[in-house]
A and B are shown apart, each in its own frame.
Chain A
């Protein structure tokens, strides 16, 4: 019971991280395709959209990690050991993205340095979600070996496979799609809105293709993903729901109901993640030698209890504050002077 509640908080942090910070990364990826005479304008909108919120969005990742190491220490340990390399690369992406963004925004001089900031910002916006997705896919696949099996088998092969890579790519595309739809509402300038709508269409198509690729790669790597989906009503339902939601989403976009479109796309991505969580539940790390469920990896009761208190009290403080932040920057018409 206690364990399930903590697991729920963990799932919620991952979900919110994806919906909020995921879009910040997605916006960074979209910047790679900025071209033409409106490029400067588009960049400005992107950095204006990310600026006030990205640090707060980023904290969901920290929260997820803290829940993992206090609540499920065995899973934190096992994941950190096996996925040292992709996690380190993800951190590299997180660090470079955050720094490049801040440097670019606050550097008073306008010169060549900005080209480098932009390049690093874009590349690291791809790197971090790719690695995150790879780790997510690899923890489901669980192609692990103990350290005695050698460096490659123990520390590389568990994540260097087609399925993990496909999940990584899917994560990137999904975040970019999220960002494209969110960004439509960041501007009132019709030509630029049209650019974002076009990007949303393209990323939507790519997301569907990447989703199919995940299933194919699963077959290739011997994971019965389709069967797992079929066996779990919630997963299957979320998958169907996510697909069906596309219809109202595109109606909303066409009618310029940008807020509604944001809510719908967030709901869609949330459904994909919920479907995935159900697929995993109760397994955190499907390690072949030693699968870890939320029950076997859980910390002793006192730790879970105090963690729960901290999370509940924390939520009571955080959510109103977060609401205020979004209200000030995302739901009000006034533009910064």
Chain B
């Protein structure tokens, strides 16, 4: 921190973009960046940073590229989350079948695996689109980022293979391999799914907490892919995503079978399914806010601008208040209709009610992310997180002591209504992460506008892919409904 303040005194050593001569080590930086160091880095120096790419790339093209990326990721993440969590949910019922030989568990495992097969195929192809889109949309980003942060993707390749191979055996191997080997293939699908997610999050976390290179004359040198992969944001972002996948999938499956039970209360099929799914979802939901708090503390340190935007903290404050809800306005720099709890934000961010939390005033205006979107998305995620955790704690108690509670019509209705909430929270969480990082694509090093492809007319591919994804989302939903009618 001290070192950075000293550097700021001499204009020629202003970090990266702000001066092309600058030499900044992203390897040394992580250990030194305290919240102050980071905001100091942004506040000193000549701030009218040149943005050549924006002059040549029409805003509509950039916007189209962002929209296409967001839609593709927002689509993929739903299937990826299900691909991570569902194999474990199925492993439970599959295990019960092998142990108890109660046919309901066999029916359940088979019914789930039919649904899941559709999700896996869609997840795999939409992921493939993403790996091309990184280049199709952000070639200038990939030219630098590929060698530095490509390593997790290389490992992910192995996880993909294992997953696809195990999936083939699981889906088609019912009578071909030993029953327990077959069960194990299902677990391998889940394990490699989680591994893929952890790897890909390492790559994403690197965009938030760049590490493993020195930035010299506008180019990265001395790259260290291992340091980049194990950057400071990776572990907790990865954990948070994994828990989120279990939470969202658990609640979604529980909700669907709750609807089944509402229609047909005597169905042993839906009852077994419901119990397994509630267990998984509730467990994850209870853990998530605790871990979310840990993640937020990390964001406060690594990306104070994003943190200030999430909390709509316009002015730096000692004993900063927590603003719940509300609509922030960048013009007036105020939040309307929010509830303020004095001192709580300082406590949440730094464990001390009197700590200083840097606000947006510490950052030049052109380095602000879109405040309203980031703030509102964060409120949605946390709101859902708290709600699902409360329901989760209650359900875990019920599962343990009072199973009949869960089967009351009111409880079933509650779960039915919660069906989409976990996924809404996931989309909201990613909006916080990605929009909150703007205008940077590599936080502090490269702007999104500099990364976009020179090809004009990007709205057309954007509209095309959007149409395809909408169509696929529609068909997948329709197929699930058809399947549901068929079994229920």
Contacts and interface: CB of A to CB of B under 8 A. Distances in A.
A80 B139 contact: yes
A95 B126 contact: yes
Contacts of A314: 154-155, 157-158, 161
A300 B171 CA distance: 42
Contact of A336 (B115, B175, B483): B175
A332 interface: yes
Contacts of A313: 158
B148 interface: yes
B418 to A, nearest CB: 26
A33 interface: no
B124 A58 contact: yes
A299 B147 contact: yes
B454 A95 contact: no
B128 A61 contact: yes
B150 A70 contact: yes
Interface string B145-160: 0111011011111101
Given A62-B160, A105-B117, A106-B118, A81 B223 contact: no
A268 B465 CA distance: 37
12 contacts: A55-B124, A61-B128, A69-B131, A69-B146, A81-B454, A88-B465, A91-B132, A94-B129, A103-B479, A306-B151, A310-B158, A324-B165
Question: Residue among B135, B140, B162, B456 with the most chain A CB within 10 A?
Answer: B135
B34 interface: no
Contact of B162 (A66, A155, A321): A321
A302 B151 CA distance: 10
A224 interface: no
B402 interface: no
A76 B135 contact: yes
A115 to B, nearest CB: 14
B172 interface: yes
B295 to A, nearest CB: 27
Interface residues of B, number: 70
A313 to B, nearest CB: 7
Contacts of A51: 168, 171-172
B154 A334 contact: no
B472 interface: yes
A46 to B, nearest CB: 15
B158 A317 contact: yes
A15 to B, nearest CB: 16
B214 to A, nearest CB: 12
Contact of A311 (B114, B122, B154, B174): B154
A291 interface: no
B114 A70 contact: no
Contacts of B129: 91, 94-95
B439 interface: no
B482 A109 contact: yes
8 nearest A-B residue pairs (beta carbon): A70-B150, A80-B135, A102-B121, A299-B147, A303-B147, A314-B158, A73-B146, A310-B154
Contacts of A321: 161-162, 165-166
A155 B461 CA distance: 13
Contacts of B121: 55, 98-99, 101-102
Given A92-B464, A303-B148, A81 B164 contact: no
B453 interface: yes
B303 to A, nearest CB: 25
Interface in B152-198: 153-158, 160-162, 164-169, 171-177
B124 A302 contact: no
B171 A52 contact: yes
A103 B475 CA distance: 9
A281 interface: no
Contacts of A53: 168
A63 interface: yes
Nearest to A105: B117
Contacts of B168: 51-53, 55-56, 325, 329
A216 interface: no
Given A59-B164, A62-B131, A300 B117 contact: no
A247 interface: no
